[in-house]
Amino acid sequence: MSPEFEQAPALATADRLARLRSAMARAGIDAYVVPSSDPHLSEYLPGHWKGREWLSGFTGSVGTFIATAGFAGVWTDGRYWTQAETELAGSEIALMKIPGAASQMHVDWLAANLVKGQTVAVDARVLGLAGARLLADALSAKGIALRTDIDLLDEVWQDRPALPGDPVFEHLPPYATTSRADKLAATRAAMEQHGAGYHFISTLDDIAYLFNLRGADVSFNPVFLAHALIGRADATLFVGEGKVPADVRARLEADGVHLAPYANAATALTALPDGATLLLDPRRVTAGMRMAVAQGVDVVEAINPTTFAKSRKLDTEAANVRATMEQDGAALCEFFAMLEPLLADPGRAPLDEVAIDTHITAARARRPNFISPSFSTIAGFNANGAIMHYRAAQETCAVIEGDGLLLIDSGGQYLGGTTDITRVIPVGTPSQAQKRDYTLVLKGLINLSSTRFPRGTRAPLLDAIARAPIWAAGIDYGHGTGHGVGYFLNVHEGPQTISPAVPPDPHTAMEPGMITSIEPGIYRPGRWGIRIENLVLNQVAETTEFGEYLAFETLTLCPIDTRPLDRALLREDEIAWLNAYHATVRTRLAPLVEGAARDWLMQRTEAI
């Protein structure tokens, strides 16, 4: 549930939809599209741009809303179907199921359901350039007009949240291990390779990385709203007035970085001189910003150099991440040492899913350099664990009692890194079917974690390695196996993604220093869900006559519960992997915990 506004009940949704349709009629618009996006194409949005959520009541992070005079629907993928069915119930808004997050089925629907001469509208400021081109081509072929110059939400959303005003702060040594000047120099060297004198960046994590700045404008991600225009000798950071403290501003100016109002970014693109060459990333910029570029400017389209640079963690950064993982693992030891006796006590007061988030965040907050959770904790017991992006709410959450499995997916933002971990623990006595599923998921984790592969392997091609033991049992799961993870930045970052839904393009190549999650799962709607997740670091393993090979170093340090295992399903090499992992966890975490937390660590890392 968004902190800016409560989920809209059916009556409120109907009223909001009626207001939107009235505005559409006045503007001569036959279909209005609201993507889950902002001017930076962020995954997590400030309240000001949560228009799809406000209109529909669907709170998932991925989805596209479309309204016509007689239809309203939300297109979203399988990770959110159960959630969307619940949140859209009682409204006229239809759930439109799509096979993957990258699907463009809503574009096909518009082309098929509108007729020549009608008009589709969408705000170009929040529409990705690649998506805008696809939409324009599909509609043009049918003689359907496309308007991108209108934001009807401003008219109908009367209490729309303002833009966030939290201050910006510097990410400093020893955690920032490369200077701002050096990062700018590397970016300019990449610009030079493309023959570009200017480079425009809108993605917030790229900007935070490049300027060694952080903020709190987006929940869970330490970023701030800004655009950046990099020139050969200086750079301009377009950011809200008053957000950058005077001392930080002075240090930015010393590095040739000038501040300008956030709203002036598009104007600066329009003012670029004729004959200039501008580098921009078509996957990471909106149609609105692309349309603002002056006609006389040559545009080179290529991936942001910073997207590659920030994905390949330096040895100094990896060392900080390892230390962060130790602190995060120690916090989890304290949390589980508190939780498990509570769950085993028949005389305890009821414990619900919301309490999990409270306790796990408190444990992390006691650790040095903790800043915030890295995403909203997912704590799902039995049936709720089968909802892939479940979020417990006080009025609807489950009480954790009886027999079953409790899935906990959580993470933290620390000055020295970002964590993301999923563990499943038994409550009472798990069934044999639950043990089988749990063991299959663990086998998938071990299978990929143990893999060696040639440097440059496209990340999506690794997905099947984790799925193989699960597929062998005639089972699959509806999400990707892994995502890149930032360095005190976004918990989801590219360019690498281990997923069958992502094309194995050249930019997805696995390179040394990348941190990626491995998180296979099994979900049985209405019964239980299982996911086990570790973060891993790409390391050079060896060089042979066939080239350089990479292997994964497991970074996450927290016991994997062995109680729900069906040991008979594990091979000896899989048992050896698990025992070696637990030996490492014990060695690394034991010096950081004491008392009940240390006792729990010792018990849960015993060899099987």
- Helix, strand, coil fractions of the chain, as percent rounded to 5: 40, 25, 40
The confidence band for 103, taking pLDDT boundaries of 50, 70 and 90, is low
Given a cut of 80, is residue 394 above it in pLDDT?
Answer: no
Boundary (domain end) residue, out of 305, 340, 373: 305
**Burial degree of 69 (CB within 10 A; 0-12, 13-18, 19+):** exposed
pLDDT digits (tens, 9 = 90+) for 531-578: 999 999 999 999 999 999 999 999 999 999 999 999 999 999 999 999
Q: What is the pLDDT of residue 396?
A: 76
Dihedral, CA atoms, 121, 122, 124, 128, nearest 10 degrees?
-130
Asked whether the predicted pLDDT for residue 3 surpasses 90, the reply is: no
pLDDT of 83 reads 84
Q: What is the pLDDT of residue 2?
A: 39
**Quick check: is 3 in a domain?**
no
Same domain, 322 and 288: no
Quote the pLDDT of residue 5.
46
Query: What CATH number has the domain bearing residue 385?
Result: 3.90.230.10
Q: pLDDT by residue (tens digit) across 292-334?
A: 999 999 999 999 999 999 999 999 999 999 999 999 999 999 9
Is the residue at 164 inside a domain? no
Q: Are residues 480 and 524 in the same domain?
A: yes
Residue 161 lies in a domain: no
Q: Is there a single domain that holds both residue 212 and residue 316?
A: no
Same domain, 317 and 182: no
Residues 244 and 346 in one domain: no
Answer whether residue 1 is part of any domain. no
Q: Are residues 247 and 122 in the same domain?
A: no
pLDDT tens digits, one per residue of 65-82: 999 999 999 999 888 888
pLDDT at 602: 98
Average pLDDT of the segment spanning 251-274:
97
DSSP state of 590: G
328, 242: one domain: no
pLDDT above 80 for 389: no
Residue 5 lies in a domain: no
For residue range 170-197, what is the model confidence (pLDDT) as tens digits? 999 999 999 999 999 999 999 999 999 9
Q: Three-state DSSP class for 261? A: strand
Q: Name the band, by pLDDT with cuts 50, 70 and 90, for residue 9.
A: low
pLDDT at 61 over 70: yes
Same domain, 289 and 317: no
Q: Give the three-class secondary structure for 122.
A: coil
Of 275, 305, 335, which residue constitutes the final position of a domain?
305
Residue 99 binned pLDDT confidence (cut-offs 50, 70, 90) = confident
Residue 604 to residues 112, 391, 446, Cα–Cα distance (Å): 56, 27, 18
Average pLDDT, integer, range 587-599: 98
- Is 70 found in the same domain as 27? yes
Reply yes or no on whether the pLDDT at 140 is more than 60: yes
pLDDT bin (cut points 50, 70, 90) of residue 8 is: low
Range of the domain at 580: 312-604
Sheet of 515-518: strand order equals: 452-454, 547-554, 534-544, 515-518, 482-484, 493-498
Percent of the chain topping pLDDT 90: 87
Report helix, strand or coil for 521: strand
271 and 329 in a single domain? The answer is no
Assess whether pLDDT exceeds 80 at residue 21: yes
Roughly what angle, to the nearest 10 degrees, separates helices 572-589 and 432-449?
80
The CATH number assigned to the domain holding 70 equals 3.40.350.10
Based on the fold, state whether residues 243 and 320 are members of the same structural domain.
no
| Predicted pLDDT of residue 7 | 52
Looking at the structure of the chain, the number of domains it has is 3
Task: Assess whether 174 and 286 both reside in one domain.
Answer: yes
DSSP 329-395: HHHHHHHHHHHHHHHH-TTSPP-BHHHHHHHHHHHHHTSTTEEEESS--EEEEGGGGGSTT----TT
Residue 468 lies in a domain: yes
Distance CA 273, CA 297 (A): 7
Whether residue 423 lies inside any domain: the answer is yes
Bond preceding residue 495 cis, omega within 30 of 0: yes
Three-state DSSP at 530 gives strand
pLDDT of residue 572: 97
Domain boundary among the residues 257, 283, 305 is at: 305
What does the pLDDT look like over 26-37, one tens digit per residue? 999 999 999 999
